[in-house]
């Protein structure tokens, strides 16, 4: 039973026995009512359809209904239902302080007293006060409590409740956040919709590095102000407030910016600089630091890092520089002011006496080393003196951070004779004392053992006139002179003459008493140019070279390599100094060779033994084995590290000969070769020396046995020796012939067992042939092989392909028959009679045709065999073919001649017997059997019957197949259409019979087939009926009459549409009311709009009658089509009208308002917004930025007052409700301070409008009564001015604009201005204080003096001149005090100074001699003057201090 709408409408009762349509009017009454005892008559009921559905139209109402039907005085049971349940479609979001909400939906009725609205959150719920119907059926208003988050809302109308709808309080907003130091602190967050429960509030701040910080706040002021302790941070921050799961939009705020108070000195190389200050942030802050070097542009200070203590120290890397520069820091985008920093001053460290880099005695370049010199030689100066002489200024060369070059040092000599100072960018180093350079030997000629002139080159040797001594000595020996020394190139080269000698020696030069470095060298070494090659048994070796000397006793020859070192024996000189000989031991390969003369070792030479040579090799089998290799120079070792023997096949594959054994030495090896074939190369490597390549043969192949191949051709296996392996497969071939035929190649060769078995494929053949194998050019002898003999397998008794009884073709099956019929012969006997020979037809490997088999009958009467190419098969015994049936005529149901067609019926009627039956237990003989066509057709007589039957023929004792026949087939001409609820179906046709028990009606085509129930024969032979279950669309109908089937099609009635509910413009569920929708959603498709959009998720609320689905957002009236299993119906539906729920009050200057509501449509352009200000004509919005179904923006004009604006939204020409709202009331946020004499004040705030006639201002001075502020002028919507009277202290203001009153704003009169105070004498007295804004009331004024560790008040304060001067009395004192004047709580500071002392007389003192002598200027230059070991005196020009 469908529930009627609360607007009133149709209700359908479904049941049984409501009577035919003729029962209306008069005999059928439809009763309804709110209780079962208060039923009233519903007029004008109708059937849809008759018997089962009764429909009637009810008036509007709500709540429970009871219904009853009376048909011809017979009353049905009473059934309870009800009007449609209320539904909720939208609820606006209230602010967290609570307030009125409007609930939009449907089926709310019209009586406010019937309405209850319940709000639930978790376990807590309450009834929303003041619930009332705001718009009949569709809108309810009530006042919600303060709250946050989401709540479930249920509307109950007369005990019937809607589904719970989610209401969400307005999201929080943030308007202001206070700034804090980067070390953290308390932030205050101002905004709206914060609620009252701090446990539900979380503040989430995010830095520019996307670092999230959660803060659990306290609530300072309910709903509007939060406070929480924030962790450290820096720069700009984003913050959101999360109240009970709802997030505000992002608000931006900042930490306090950084400030620098100190900086360390970086080196001139650049590097770390540490800044000290405040608000630098921590390690997570994004810190950037810029600096410059004097006048240069600012640069980035690299790798800024915040260090401990955090927030107050940071370091970074500056570039190279000198002097001073400016630096500033930026922390997450916030910048400090500039700060001055200094680079480190220069220091000197070298060159020092005795160290490196001393200047040459010839002067010129002089390089000072140290640190922090910078790199700009224009900012660097070097001063120096030599031997206490006049100060010299350098011409500067290259300057680096650690060195500075003086280009013009004067020549000189001696130790500690140079005193130097460097100045960099205005900062001077300390002095450095240093020396000229010592002589240095760079190279020395190596003397030959015969002696001679040598040259020593180097530096600082002095001039041609320098005193030069050259000493040389053997290590551990006495020092000797190199004679005739001379400086041949000033400062750079000395020569002298050496005597003959050998071995290592040292040199040292002395120049003017200063020693050089010691230079180690020696006499010339021996050398090798040629070594002869010995055989591997060893023998004499001759070595040619130089510097071998002439003494065999100090002469050695040493060989090394191959893991050992040994001396050559019997070493002796053949030619002094150039040729020697010695005897070498047996060996092989190469050896390193050196000649040693008196411990002097020559450069290594190479000795090489003679290489190996192969002269003969024995032959192995193809599977490999031992071979003997003969030759000479094979050496003395069988080790694989020394000797390798390699064979290389004709295919190029190389393998090692394993297990090498040398016996006897030098001339013979035995080793094991790998498998191979044919002619093969062999070579050896002895200790790295290759032999010649020698060729040898493997043993040839031999065949000892073969397998028999198939006559179709195929595999044959050869067994024997020396066949090789898979590596030699490409070198192996097999040839054969078939009897007298030519030899051919056996294909598909493979080795099945290496060296002893091969397999290949021969062509088809019969009989015998010859075969041989060739392995890598070596061929075996021919052997004889045989093909397989023939075998016979069929035809066998009872199988197919038996010969017909008429004889003729007879096919033997089997195998290995060959394909040549002249080599094949079939022989047979019948019933043991004489042997017959066939005329042969086609022969294949598996069948042979005999073309002239004699006629005959019976089983196992034929004995046959085949002879192929001289080989005879075994016998086979077989039979003639059985009879078969392949056609039966359809006899009349009154009895008729049955025609049987098939094969093998013979020609004799007496041998043929025919049976037929409907069941195996009811077999009958078909009488009068006659063979009407030999072997293929019979006639006999069958009795009257219907339906299906079976037939079998027996010929000469052999039975045929069983073959089915049938009587005349029924036909179908018409099938009626049932509703989707199911019910009776009538089928009209022919040959249905009159027995329902043999009739089966089956419906199929939609899933699992089903049978129609309650089959009945309505008209014998021509009409039957049955009942179908609920369904839709078309079904294939199968009608079986006694096993004979006929087909038709049954189609359900098509769907209809009676009504469709209206969805919101956001889309959602619609309900479609009608008939024949079926009960399976999978076959239902609902499309709407001209584009045929699919209505999603169709679902039955009442199967067959009510259908729901989900439509997309839209507006207006839309076409819709319901398709049920291929049957469709079209109609239209309309989206809900728009509704305005809430509009925030706009400011008086007008601007964009946000319209919140429902059903504004899915796209821009579908909504039209008009508004009226102060009851003027409605005008369209200047612009309508469309946001969504629930939000539209509208730009309205300026205005003021309560209920001043009316707004209507029309969507697709359908208007909403009219929404009335106010302009925002005025607010005061700032006020100027008037002088205490009174005057104009300016109030800043919002919403002052534009018409001063609608504006009034009241003020209260010093807590007194409010009074008008006169002369009001509206400057703009944000500022106005008016005039106040004279006064002092505090003032409160309040503005009223068009009956809307602002907040009360506290300000004050202007505070006292800067002051001057007369000077009292030290005994104290009256002082006069001049200034401004002192007012006229002395009781509001106090004067306080502070200083000298005391505080006191000035007494007896009096007004001297209104507003401008006052007086008071101070006690005795002296000096200065800080003075503070307080006028009504507002203060100004100044200074009170007692009168200064005056001198009126001075008495004379006794005489005393005093002489004041000013110091000299400029200060004198100072230098150290030596005084020997007794000390020194610091002297200054014009002074002496002792």
Alpha-carbon distance of 1271 to 1293, in angstroms, equals 15
Task: Please enumerate in sequence order all residues whose Cβ is within 8 A of that of 919, keeping only pairs 6 or more positions apart, or say none.
Answer: none
Asked whether 927 and 938 are in contact (CB, 8 A), the reply is: no
Q: What pLDDT, on the 0 to 100 scale, is given for residue 792?
A: 95
Q: Distance between CA atoms of 329 and 338, rounded to whole angstroms? A: 8
**SS3 assignment, position 894:** coil
Residue with tokens 């049905």: 76
Phi, psi of 591 (to 5 degrees): -135, 145
Average pLDDT for 191-206: 91
Give the rounded distance of the alpha carbon of 1147 from its chain centre: 48
State residue 651's pLDDT score.
79
Range scoring the smallest mean pLDDT among 388-392, 453-457, 634-638, 677-681: 634-638
What pLDDT sits at residue 29?
84
Residue range 853-857: mean pLDDT, rounded: 83
**Which two structure tokens, joined as six digits, stand for 844?**
């294949």
| Residue 1402 burial by Cβ neighbours in a 10 Å radius (0-12, 13-18, 19+) | exposed
Q: How far apart are CA 632 and CA 642, in angstroms?
A: 16
The pLDDT score that the predictor gives to residue 159 is 87
Q: What is the pLDDT of residue 8?
A: 85
How far apart CA 1256 and CA 1276 sit, in angstroms, is 14
Contact between 1376 and 1392 under an 8 Å Cβ cutoff? The reply is yes
Helices (H), 1153-1299: none
Q: Helix, strand, or coil here: 1343?
A: strand
Dist CA 985 CA 1024 (whole Å): 9
CA 1033 to the chain's CA centroid: 50
CB atoms < 10 A from the CB of 836, how many? Answer: 16
Distance, CA of 946 to CA of 940 (rounded, Å): 18
Q: What is the pLDDT of residues 740-780, one digit of tens each?
A: 778 899 999 999 999 999 999 999 888 888 999 999 889 99
Torsion, CA 228, CA 229, CA 230, CA 231, rounded to 10: -160
341 phi and psi angles, rounded to 5 deg: -130, 160
Output the CA–CA distances (angstroms, integers) from residue 538 to 568, 665, 688, in the order listed. Answer: 11, 12, 17
pLDDT at residue 382, as a whole number: 94
pLDDT score at 1410: 38
User: What's the rounded Cα separation, in Å, for the pair 1036 and 776?
Assistant: 78
Alpha helices in 1305-1351 (DSSP H): none
Residue 712 has pLDDT above 80, yes or no: yes
In order of 65, 69, 75, 437, the CA distances from 45 in angstroms are 17, 10, 15, 134
Span 1160-1182, pLDDT tens digits: 888 777 788 999 988 899 999 87
Four-CA torsion 421, 422, 425, 426, nearest 10 degrees: 0
* 677 conformational bin, left if phi > 0, alpha if psi -120 to 50, beta if neither: beta
Beta strands in 26-86 (DSSP E): 28-33, 40-42, 46-47, 53-58, 64-71, 74-75, 79-82
Question: Does residue 1427 carry a pLDDT above 90?
Answer: no
- Give 228's Cβ-side CA count (13 Å radius): 23
Q: pLDDT tens for residues 244-286?
A: 989 999 998 898 999 999 999 998 888 999 999 999 888 878 8
End-to-end CA distance of the chain: 131
In the predicted structure, residue 702 carries a pLDDT above the cut 90: yes
Buried b (16+ CB within 10 A) or exposed e, 931-947: beeebbebbbebeebbe
Range in 113-117, 265-269, 591-595, 1423-1427 the model is least confident about: 1423-1427
Residue 1436: pLDDT band with limits 50, 70, 90 = very low
Rounded Cα gap, residues 1068 and 1097, in angstroms:
10
Instruction: Report pLDDT digits (tens) over 1181-1208.
Output: 876 666 788 889 888 988 998 888 999 9
Beta bridge partners of 751: 758
- Window from 47-51, 116-120, 676-680, 1070-1074 with minimum mean pLDDT: 47-51
Q: What is the pTM of this model?
A: 0.35
Phi (first) and psi of residue 169, to 5 degrees: -65, 160
Structure tokens at 1427: 């005084």
Helix (H) or strand (E) holding 1183: none
Which SS3 state, helix, strand or coil, does residue 554 take?
A: helix
Task: For residue 675, give every residue at least 6 positions away whose Cβ sits within 8 Å of its Cβ, in sequence order, or none.
Answer: 622, 623, 624, 724, 725, 727, 728, 754, 755
Q: Do you find a cis peptide bond into 795, omega within 30 degrees of 0?
A: yes
Residue 235's pLDDT is 82
> In sequence order, what are the residues at sequence separation of 6 or more whose Cβ sits closer than 8 angstroms to the Cβ of residue 1360?
1328, 1366, 1367
Q: What is the pLDDT of residues 967-1009, one digit of tens each?
A: 878 889 999 999 999 999 999 998 887 888 889 999 998 888 9
- Using an 8 Å Cβ cutoff, are 261 and 249 in contact? no
pLDDT recorded at residue 643 = 75
Please compute the mean of the pLDDT values over residues 606-614 and round it to a whole number.
91
Distance, CA of 826 to CA of 812 (rounded, Å): 8
Q: How far apart are CA 1159 and CA 1140, in angstroms?
A: 9
Between 17 and 1324, where is the model more confident? 1324
- At residue 112, the 3 state secondary structure works out as helix
Q: What is the pLDDT of residue 663?
A: 76
Burial of 584 (0-12, 13-18, 19+ CB in 10 A): buried
Closest by Cα among 931, 930, 965 to 945: 965
The answer, yes or no, to whether residue 1080 has pLDDT greater than 60, is yes
Confidence of residue 1106 (pLDDT cuts 50, 70, 90): very high
Give 17-40 pLDDT, tens digit per residue. Answer: 887 765 666 678 888 898 888 888
Strand, helix or coil at 944? coil
Distance CA(163)–CA(161), nearest Å, equals 7
At 413 the pLDDT is: 66
Torsion angle defined by CA atoms of residues 1320, 1321, 1326 and 1331, in that order, rounded to the nearest 10 degrees: -10
Tell me the two tokens of residue 795.
């035809």
Which letter does DSSP use for residue 731 in this model? G
Q: What pLDDT score was predicted for residue 166?
A: 93
Residue 807: pLDDT band with limits 50, 70, 90: confident
More confident residue, 86 or 71: 86
What is the spatial distance between Cα 183 and Cα 455, in angstroms, rounded to a whole number?
76
pLDDT digits (tens, 9 = 90+) for 28-79: 888 889 888 888 888 778 777 777 888 888 888 898 888 998 887 888 888 8
Is residue 912 predicted with pLDDT exceeding 80?
A: yes
Give the residues across from 1040 on adjacent strands.
1000, 1045
pLDDT of residue 387: 79
Q: Are strands 862-868 and 871-872 parallel, antiparallel or unpaired?
A: antiparallel
Q: Measured at the alpha carbon of residue 495, what is the angle toward residues 490 and 501, in degrees to the nearest 5?
A: 160
Mean pLDDT of 371-387: 90
Each residue's pLDDT tens digit, 430-482: 999 988 888 889 999 988 767 789 999 998 887 777 788 999 998 888 999 99
Strand partners, 428: 423
pLDDT at site 1418: 41
3-class state of residue 749 by DSSP: strand
Four-point Cα dihedral 21, 22, 28, 32, nearest 10 = 30
| Per-residue model confidence (pLDDT) at position 558 | 94
> Token pair of 1056, please?
């209809």
DSSP state of 700: P
Tokens at residue 883, please?
């009879």
* pLDDT for the residue numbered 42: 87
Among candidates 445, 471, 453, 442, which has minimal Cα distance to 524? 445
Residue 1430 has pLDDT above 60, yes or no: no
Structure tokens given for 355: 């160290």
Higher pLDDT, 1250 or 864: 864
pLDDT in tens, 1371-1411: 999 999 999 999 888 899 999 999 888 877 665 555 443 33
Q: What is the mean pLDDT of residues 505-520?
A: 87
Q: Which two tokens stand for residue 1125?
A: 């299993």
Is the distance from CB of 735 to CB of 661 less than 8 angstroms? no
Three-state SS at 96: coil
- Average pLDDT of the chain to the nearest whole number: 87
**Residue 1256 contacts residue 1268 (beta carbons within 8 Å):** yes
Q: Looking at residues 322-339, what average pLDDT do you find?
A: 90
Does 710 score more than 80 pLDDT? yes
Compute the average pLDDT of residues 609-621: 91
Q: How far is CA 865 from the centre of its chain?
A: 79
CA distances, 69 to each of 16, 422, 1052 (Å): 11, 124, 29
- The pLDDT of residue 1417 is above 80: no
């Amino acid at each position: 039973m469908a529930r009627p709408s609360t607007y009133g409408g149709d209700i359908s009762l479904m049941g049984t026995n409501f009577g035919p349509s003729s029962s209306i009017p008069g005999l059928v009454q439809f009763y309804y009512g709110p209780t079962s005892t208060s039923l009233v008559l519903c007029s004008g009921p109708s059937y849809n359809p008759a018997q089962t559905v009764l429909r009637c139209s009810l008036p509007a109402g709500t709540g429970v209904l009871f219904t009853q039907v009376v048909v011809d005085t017979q009353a049905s049971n009473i059934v309870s239902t009800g009007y449609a349940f209320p539904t909720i479609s939208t609820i606006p979001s209230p602010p967290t302080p609570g307030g009125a909400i409007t609930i939009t939906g449907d089926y709310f009725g019209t009586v406010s007293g019937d309405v209850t609205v319940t709000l639930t959150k978790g376990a807590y719920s309450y009834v929303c006060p003041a619930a009332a119907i705001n718009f009949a059926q569709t809108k309810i208003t009530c006042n919600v409590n303060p709250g946050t988050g989401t709540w479930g809302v249920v509307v109950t109308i007369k005990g019937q409740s809607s589904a719970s709808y989610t209401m969400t309080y307005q999201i929080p907003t943030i308007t202001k956040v206070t700034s804090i130091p980067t070390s953290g602190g308390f932030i205050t967050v101002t905004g709206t919709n914060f609620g009252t429960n701090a446990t539900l509030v979380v503040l989430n701040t995010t830095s520019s590095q996307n670092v999230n910080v959660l803060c659990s706040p306290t609530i300072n002021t309910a709903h509007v102000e939060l406070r929480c302790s924030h962790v450290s941070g820096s720069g700009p921050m984003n913050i959101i407030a999360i109240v009970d799961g709802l997030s505000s939009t992002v608000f931006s705020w900042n930490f306090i910016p950084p400030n620098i108070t100190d900086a360390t000195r970086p080196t001139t190389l650049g590097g770390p600089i540490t800044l000290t200050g405040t608000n630098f942030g921590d390690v997570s802050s994004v810190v950037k630091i810029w600096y410059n070097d004097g006048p240069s542009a600012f640069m980035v200070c690299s790798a800024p890092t915040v260090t401990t203590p955090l927030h107050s120290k940071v370091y970074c890397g500056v570039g190279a520089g000198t002097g001073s520069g400016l630096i500033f820091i930026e922390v997450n985008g916030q910048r400090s002011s500039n700060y001055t920093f200094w680079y480190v001053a220069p220091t000197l460290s070298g060159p020092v006496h005795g160290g490196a880099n001393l200047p040459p005695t010839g002067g010129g370049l002089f390089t000072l080393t140290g640190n922090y010199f910078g790199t700009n030689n224009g900012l660097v100066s070097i001063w120096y003196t030599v031997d206490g002489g006049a100060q010299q200024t350098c011409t500067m060369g290259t300057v680096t951070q650690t060195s500075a070059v003086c280009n013009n040092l004067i020549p000189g000599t001696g130790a500690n004779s140079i005193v130097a100072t460097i100045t960099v960018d205005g900062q001077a180093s300390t002095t450095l004392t240093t020396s000229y350079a010592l002589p240095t030997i760079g190279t020395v000629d190596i003397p030959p053992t015969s002696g001679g002139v040598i040259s020593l080159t180097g530096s600082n040797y002095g001039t041609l006139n320098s005193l030069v001594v050259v000493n040389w000595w053997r290590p551990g020996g006495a020092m000797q002179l190199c004679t005739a020394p001379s400086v041949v190139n000033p400062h750079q080269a000395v020569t002298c003459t050496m005597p003959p000698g050998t071995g290592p020696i040292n040199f040292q030069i002395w120049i003017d008493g200063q020693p050089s470095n010691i230079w180690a060298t020696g006499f010339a070494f021996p050398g090798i140019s040629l070594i002869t090659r010995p055989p591997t048994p060893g023998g004499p070796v001759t070595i040619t070279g130089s510097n071998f000397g002439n003494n065999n006793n100090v002469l050695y020859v040493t060989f090394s390599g191959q893991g050992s070192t040994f001396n050559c024996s019997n070493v002796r000189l053949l030619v002094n100094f150039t040729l020697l000989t010695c005897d070498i031991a047996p060996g092989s390969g190469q050896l390193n060779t050196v000649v040693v003369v008196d411990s002097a070792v020559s450069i290594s030479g190479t000795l090489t033994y003679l290489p190996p040579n192969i002269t003969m090799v024995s032959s192995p089998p193809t599977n490999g084995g031992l071979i003997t290799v003969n030759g000479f120079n094979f050496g003395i070792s069988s080790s694989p590290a020394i000797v390798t023997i390699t064979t290389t096949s004709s295919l190029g594959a190389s393998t090692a000969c394993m297990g090498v054994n040398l016996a006897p030495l030098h001339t013979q090896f035995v080793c094991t070769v790998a498998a191979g074939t044919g002619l093969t190369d062999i070579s050896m490597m002895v200790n790295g020396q290759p032999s010649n390549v020698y060729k040898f043969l493997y043993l040839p192949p031999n065949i000892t046995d073969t397998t028999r191949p198939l006559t179709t051709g195929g595999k044959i296996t050869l067994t024997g020796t020396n066949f090789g392996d898979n590596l030699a497969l490409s070198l192996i071939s097999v040839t054969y012939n078939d009897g007298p035929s030519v030899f051919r190649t056996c294909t598909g060769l493979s080795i099945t067992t290496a060296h002893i078995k091969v397999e290949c494929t021969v062509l088809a053949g019969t009989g015998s042939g010859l075969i041989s194998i060739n392995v890598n050019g070596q061929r075996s002898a021919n052997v004889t092989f045989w093909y397989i003999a023939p075998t016979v397998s069929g035809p066998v008794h009872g199988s197919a392909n038996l010969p017909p009884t008429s004889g003729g073709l007879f096919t033997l099956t089997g195998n290995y028959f060959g394909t040549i019929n002249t080599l094949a012969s079939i022989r047979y006997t019948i019933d043991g009679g004489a042997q017959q020979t066939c005329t042969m037809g086609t022969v294949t490997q598996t069948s042979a045709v005999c073309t002239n088999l004699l006629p005959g009958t019976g089983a196992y009467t034929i004995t046959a065999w085949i002879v192929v190419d001289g080989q005879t098969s075994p016998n086979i015994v077989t039979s003639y073919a059985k009879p078969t049936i392949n056609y039966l005529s359809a006899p009349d149901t009154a009895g008729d001649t049955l025609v049987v067609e098939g094969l093998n019926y013979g020609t004799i009627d007496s041998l043929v017997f025919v049976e037929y039956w409907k069941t195996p237990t009811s077999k009958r003989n078909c009488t009068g059997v006659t063979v009407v066509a030999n072997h293929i057709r019979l006639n006999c007589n069958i009795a009257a019957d219907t339906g299906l039957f079976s037939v079998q023929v027996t010929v000469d004792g052999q039975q045929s197949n069983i073959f089915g026949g049938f009587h005349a087939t029924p036909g179908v001409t018409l099938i009626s259409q049932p509703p989707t609820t199911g019910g009776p179906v009538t089928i009209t046709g022919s040959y249905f019979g009159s027995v329902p028990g043999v009739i089966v009606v089956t419906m199929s085509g939609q899933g699992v087939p089903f049978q129609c129930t309650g089959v009945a024969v309505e008209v014998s032979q021509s009409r039957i009926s049955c009942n179908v279950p609920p369904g839709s669309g078309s079904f294939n109908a199968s009608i079986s009459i006694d096993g004979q089937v006929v087909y038709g099609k049954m189609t359900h009635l098509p769907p209809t549409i009676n009504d469709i509910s209206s969805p919101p413009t956001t889309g959602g569920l619609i309900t479609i009311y009608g008939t024949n929708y079926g009960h399976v959603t999978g076959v239902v498709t609902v499309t709407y709009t001209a584009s045929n959009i699919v209505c999603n998720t169709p679902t039955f609320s009442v199967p067959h009658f009510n259908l729901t689905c989900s439509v997309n957002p839209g507006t207006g009236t839309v076409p819709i089509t319901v398709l049920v299993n291929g049957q469709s119906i079209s109609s239209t539906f309309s989206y809900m009208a728009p509704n305005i729920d809430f509009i925030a009050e706009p400011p008086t200057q007008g601007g964009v308002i946000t319209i919140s509501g429902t059903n504004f449509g899915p796209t821009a352009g579908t909504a039209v917004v008009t508004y009226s200000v102060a009851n003027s004509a409605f005008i369209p919005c200047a612009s309508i930025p469309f946001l969504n179904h629930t939000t539209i923006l509208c730009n309205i004009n300026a205005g003021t007052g309560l209920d001043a604006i009316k707004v209507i939204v029309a969507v697709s020409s359908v208007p909403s409700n009219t929404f009335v709202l106010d302009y925002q009331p005025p607010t005061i946020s700032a006020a100027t301070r008037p002088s205490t004499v009174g005057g104009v004040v300016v109030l800043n705030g919002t919403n002052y409008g534009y018409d001063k006639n609608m504006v009034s201002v009241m003020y209260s001075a010093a807590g007194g009564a409010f009074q008008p502020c006169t002369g009001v002028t509206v400057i703009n919507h944000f500022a106005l001015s008016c005039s106040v009277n004279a006064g002092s202290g505090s003032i409160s203001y309040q503005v009223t604009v068009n009956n809307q009153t602002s907040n009360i704003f506290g300000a004050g009169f202007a505070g006292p201005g800067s002051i001057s105070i007369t000077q009292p004498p030290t005994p104290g007295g009256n002082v006069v204080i001049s200034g401004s804004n002192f007012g006229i009331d002395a009781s509001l004024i106090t004067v306080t003096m502070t200083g000298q560790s005391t505080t006191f008040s000035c007494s007896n304060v009096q007004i001297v001149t209104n507003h401008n001067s006052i007086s008071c009395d101070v006690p005795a004192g002296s000096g200065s005090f800080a003075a503070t004047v307080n006028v009504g709580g507002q203060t100004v500071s100044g200074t009170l100074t007692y009168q200064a002392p005056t001198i009126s007389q001075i008495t004379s003192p006794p005489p005393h001699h005093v002489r004041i002598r000013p110091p000299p200027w400029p200060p004198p230059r100072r230098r150290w003057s030596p005084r020997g070991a007794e000390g020194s005196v610091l002297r200054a020009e014009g002074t002496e201090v002792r």
